Structure 1
Amino acid sequence: MNIAAQLSEIACYGEFFAITVGGDATGWRAVQRCYADGCEDLIDTTADRYRTTDRRIGASTVQLSHATRLWSPVLACALAHGIVPDLTYLYRKDDGTALRLAEAVAAPVAPTADALYHVVVQQHLEPMADGLRIKLARGLLYGNAASALVAASRALIAQRPDLRDAAVALTESLLATGKLAGTGTIIGSGLRFRRRSCCLYYRVSGGAKCHDCGLTKTAEAPHLL
């Protein structure tokens, strides 16, 4: 099933929902190659931008941003169209974080929490974590994945309030799936989330703790690429 039309529609929801389809492959590289290389180029760029010598901050920020770029279109496709995009052959912009598919097809699975967890966490975020050359606790990385999931769901609800109940239910199911279980807590109704780890952004000069940080109750916005 070709899902180019569905991907084009959800791209209107915001930058993190957009995946380029087709076109010239020049300037793009396979994400699996990026994972094997430890995403060193983006980590260096991010650390330089934040003027920090602590490359753990760069690595955490890159992983959190990439997780959001994965969860956003996957959630939108699942909830708005009842499909799961096949992200097996995914590409990343050479000089940035944008994503591309040579062909837009749906995975032959129902859009369940297990299916979405497999596509995002097992196919992408775990290989990415395995390739990192910078030591980061797995709890932090899974916490980032959970934080990105909730952020993506909230962004989707902002664009499609009619999907709110389904989005909350699917997000809660995902937060109880695999390694995402125990990464944080949904507080009250809706998607107020408190994670049990920290993305390290507060260590940047002038940085702050994010709105869902386990270290504080200060309400600040997360910082993504």
Structure 2
Amino acid sequence: MDLDPDLSALGALGGFFVLRTGAPPRGALPTLAQAYASEPPEGGADPLAERIRKVAHSLRAPELRVAASLAHQGLAARIWSVALGSAALYGRVPDLDPRLLRWDPEGGVPDDLWLSEVRPLPVASLDKVVREGHLAPLAAVLRARHSVSARLLWGNAGSALAGTVRMVDRWARETGRTDVRERARSLAAGLFAHPELSGTLDPATGRRRSCCLYYRLPAGGLCGDCCFDRPPGRE
């Protein structure tokens, strides 16, 4: 099964898998390549800073580092969902070059994404498309700007990948698509073999080995896969 021109089949898997194609209806939006730029643009909009500020305001984050981590996890979940969902469902991966993906930093959750052009790639390119094309440059800019640790960010990426597999698995069981479930699991196992992702989750429990800092929000608690048994600093 090849990619359909508007990737409509992805939407059946859930909101995190939706990838709109063509031009955004509200006019020009920044590309993810602009968001990953090492230096903020002079005199222009800074989409990554805008997103982090929005997350900080919406969740009343006590510091930008917390908002940066949560914004990162949301975007990582979106990219993994689109890429792994396509690979499992179509047997192809759309070219998600950051220059082709437009992003609305002021949008809601899940992040709003538009792909300018649908160009199919082989499933073998999945790691290169996501980890190299998105997660590595995004982690680099967040480390530089907000001093978020690499361990935390790759933990976010591993958690987001595991969450994507669970969502695909649930849809596949509900629809009887065991082929999609098995492809997703097999592909994820290969992705988790990479050194940057291999130690992010406990293989026995599926729990993280780092924390996304969600507990630091005023109303925050622990995520389902948190490495902690109780929020640090609380009795």
- Percent identical residues: 34
Aligned partner of residue 30 in structure 2, secondary structure: strand
Matched, 1:32 2:44: no
Q: How does 1:1-225 map to 2 (within 5 A)?
A: 3-5=3-5, 7-24=7-24, 26-36=27-37, 37=40, 39-88=48-97, 89-96=100-107, 97-107=111-121, 109=122, 111-112=123-124, 115-132=125-142, 133-161=145-173, 162=178, 163-187=180-204, 193-216=206-229
Task: State how far apart, in whole Å, the 2-side matches of 1:23 and 1:4 are.
Answer: 17
Q: Aligned pair in 2 of structure 1 residues 70, 24: CA closer, same or farther (>3 Å)?
A: closer
Q: What is the number of equivalent residue pairs in this alignment? A: 210
Q: Hey, which bits of structure 1, 4+ residues long, moved more than 6 A?
A: none
- One-letter identity of the residue aligned with 1:176: A
1:34 deviation in Å? 1.3
What TM-score do you get using the length of structure 1 for normalisation?
A: 0.86
1:150 deviation in Å? 0.5
1:94 deviation in Å? 4.6
1:139 deviation in Å? 0.5
- One-letter identity of the residue aligned with 2:203: I
Gap runs ≥5 in structure 2: 41-45
Partner of 1:222: none
Task: State how far apart, in whole Å, the 1-side matches of 2:230 and 2:63 are.
Answer: 24
Q: Aligned pair in 2 of structure 1 residues 24, 170: CA closer, same or farther (>3 Å)?
A: closer
Q: Aligned pair in 2 of structure 1 residues 214, 5: CA closer, same or farther (>3 Å)?
A: same
Task: State how far apart, in whole Å, the 1-side matches of 2:102 and 2:62 are.
Answer: 28
Task: State how far apart, in whole Å, the 2-side matches of 1:167 and 1:139 are.
Answer: 25
Contact 2:94-2:118 at 8 Å conserved across structures:
yes
1:165 deviation in Å? 2.8
Gap runs ≥5 in structure 1: 219-225
Contact 1:91-1:100 at 8 Å conserved across structures:
yes
What TM-score do you get using the length of structure 2 for normalisation?
A: 0.82
Cα offsets for 1:119-169 (capped at 9, x unmatched) = 111101111122221110001000000000000111111112223333222
RMSD, matched Cα: 2.1
Contact 1:211-1:217 at 8 Å conserved across structures:
no
Task: State how far apart, in whole Å, the 2-side matches of 1:2 and 1:82 are.
Answer: 7
1:116 deviation in Å? 1.6
Contact 1:6-1:77 at 8 Å conserved across structures:
no
